[in-house]
Structure 1
């Protein structure tokens, strides 16, 4: 039985005893009934009050309970209120003056770690640094701040891997960097959509192309995953098609459309779009690597060599130059 029910019963019994005491009839049976009702109320109240007392006040058990019962029994009505008030004060009053094990401190000021540009963090060094828990946390935080200014396409996988790191500050920095990059592109998308709603026919092509590029950028920088990535690619394809309806001679947009299709797994359609881009005058250095990737997926190795050989040596892309050198170095020997 809960203490609240016992307290209600005690108050009810005490009220009944007071009514009997205030009765004008002078009868011994009424007095005995009063004593019984008042005694029951005192006993119930003693049980409740004793259970609410701090542990140091409940010893010895029998004597402490008898003391409470005597106080309630020999001081009718007033004893009940006094006991309840005393218990409340005994519980709440010491809490006001109790020493707390903690205190309030001023909000700390975050001072970012100064990144020395001459430190020379390399991408492989950063990956090793951020994926190991043996390095000092301060150095790992410094390395994370270096990632903030690097392209998300290069750092996206590393940042997502760091989201599961055991060091909380590193996790928060990784989440903040990814969230900031995504929000920047999302704001540009919202601005372009707002302009497209009120744009004239002459501006619809440029805005559609811009929206396709922005949606593609979310995927290219590895800022979206799962169903969101699928939806993002669909929106990028939708606005690319809208732009091509207005300007079908845009070779760059045909190449973007092909890359979107390639990411969606539509290899045949991607090959057609990129072939259109090549025919419209886009250089081999921009189109052939993607056509070579499609050929490689189809296991057309001779075609890969042919496409990579068409790329000129003066290509400005360092990584592309290495790929061209690789395929040229592995050309099959021709018989004399």
Structure 2
């Protein structure tokens, strides 16, 4: 406080002296030199005074802040005084406190293997058991069927198809409605994307539409919705739009999708080439190894199959793959 009082007194005295020089009857150059010298000294003191009143977090970088307030005080004396007073009041009484937390070591979060999200009250096995048990009441089986609707379509669709021949009308009609609704949803999305693709003139946007179309056509095969000639058609369309998207831009995900389609079409050699291309584009090898192991198994190359299985982490989250690893690599559970 004592220092600030001295600075205020010195600043006022120097500024008063600078103004007094202008009233003296001396040569103009000497008069201007005296005014500028005294005014600059007063401005420097005012800048230092403002710096003292600022909160600590606003004083850095020191010389930059000092220079800013000095220039304001020197070139805009009266207005800068009002501005700097407002700055001091705002920063001291109206600004939020800035808290700097140091870096610390934290423990690893607890991680649970398995699918993320809220799980159904019934597991897949329990749902299948209840649906396939005709001795249970229709109400219990309907509840199990509704639980199946919340499952992934890849696993629920086969169960729904099994119920199409069930003796219970409610179950049969509900299963048919759920299957029909899923097919209509996919067909509506495909129809919408085809319209967008016809009017598309930007290559990156066209590539996006083609990729989405490939994924939707592939969904019919992946979710077991299509069979026979319809399956062949869906796979052909999925391959067509995947290759069309790859012609615009090479993409690792698309090469993996193409390989999956080719496996379903029993074009294993082309599928392996597609997987190799995906790896060259930076796709994680561990993601592709299960497919390569499957292809090696189909051509009865068990040594290569074991090699691919060894490259898959043993803490794999998919139980089926972990069980296959333990069987073929004789790894204890």
TM tier, smaller: 0.5 to 0.7
| 8 Å contact from structure 2 (residues 120, 150) kept in 1 | no
Shift of 1:318: 4.4
Distance 1:245 1:128 in 2: 47
SS at match of 2:292: helix
Query: What residue number does 1:187 align with?
Result: 188
State the Cα deviation string for residues 99-130 of structure 1 (Å, max 9, x = none).
xxxxxxxxxxxxxxxxxx99832211221211
Match of 1:265 in 2: 266
Q: Evaluate the alpha carbon distance shift between residue 317 and residue 330 of structure 1 in structure 2; reply closer, same or farther with a 3 A threshold.
A: closer
CA contact (8 A) 2:160 2:175 kept: yes
Q: How many residues are paired up?
A: 214
CA deviation after TM superposition for structure 1 residue 306, in Å? 0.5
Residue number in structure 2 paired with 1:288:
289
Q: What residue number does 2:127 align with?
A: 126
1:217 paired residue number = 219
Matching of residue 238 in structure 1 with residue 244 in structure 2: no
Report deviation, 1:168: 0.4
SS at match of 2:296: helix
Larger radius of gyration: 1
Structure 2 CA distance for aligned equivalents of residues 302 and 270 of structure 1: 19
SS, match of residue 163 in structure 1: helix
Instruction: State the partner residue of 1:156.
Output: 157
Whether the aligned pair in 1 keeps the contact of 2:207 and 2:248 (CA below 8 Å) is yes
Structure 1 residue 132, shift from structure 2 partner: 2.1
TM-aligned CA deviation for residue 279 of structure 1:
2.2
**Is the 8 Å Cα contact of residues 285 and 315 (structure 1) preserved in structure 2?**
no
How far, CA to CA, are the matches of 1:313 and 1:121 in structure 2?
A: 27
Which deviations, in whole Å up to 9, do the C-alpha atoms of 1:175-229 show, x marking residues without a partner?
0111111111111111111111111223111111111011101111111111111
Could you tell me which residue of structure 2 aligns to residue 329 of structure 1?
Answer: 330
Range with bigger deviation, 211-220 or 194-203: 194-203
Preserved CA contact (<8 Å) 1:216 1:236: yes
- Give how far 1:327 is off: 3.2
Change (3 A) 1:213 1:138: same
> For residues 217 and 119 of structure 1, what CA distance do their matches in structure 2 show?
23
Partner of 2:145: 144
Q: Which residue of 2 aligns with 1:113?
A: none
* TM-score of the aligned structures, taking structure 1 as reference length: 0.60
- Structure 1 unaligned segments of length 5 or more: list them: 1-116, 332-336
Structure 2 residues without counterparts, runs of 5 or longer:
1-117
Structure-2 change in CA distance of 1:310 and 1:144 (3 Å): same
Structure 2 contact 258–271 (Cα < 8 Å) conserved: yes
SS of the equivalent of 1:156 reads helix
CA drift of 1:266 comes to 1.0
**Structure 1 segment 1-336 matched on structure 2, within 5 A:** 120-200=121-201, 201-248=203-250, 250-313=251-314, 315-329=316-330
Residues 210/173 of structure 1: CA separation in 2 closer, same or farther (3 Å cut):
same
Q: Is the 8 A contact 1:292 1:307 kept in 2?
A: yes
Aligned CA distance change for structure 1 residues 118 and 223 (closer, same or farther; 3 Å):
closer
- Greater Cα shift, 301-310 or 317-326: 317-326
Q: Is the 8 A contact 2:325 2:331 kept in 1?
A: no
Kindly report the root-mean-square deviation, in angstroms, between the aligned alpha carbons of the 2 structures: 2.0
> By how many angstroms is 1:284 displaced?
2.1
Cα distance change, pair 172–267 in 1 and its aligned pair in 2 (3 A)? same
Q: Give the Cα separation in 2 of the matches to 1:189 and 1:118.
A: 30
Change (3 A) 1:312 1:330: closer
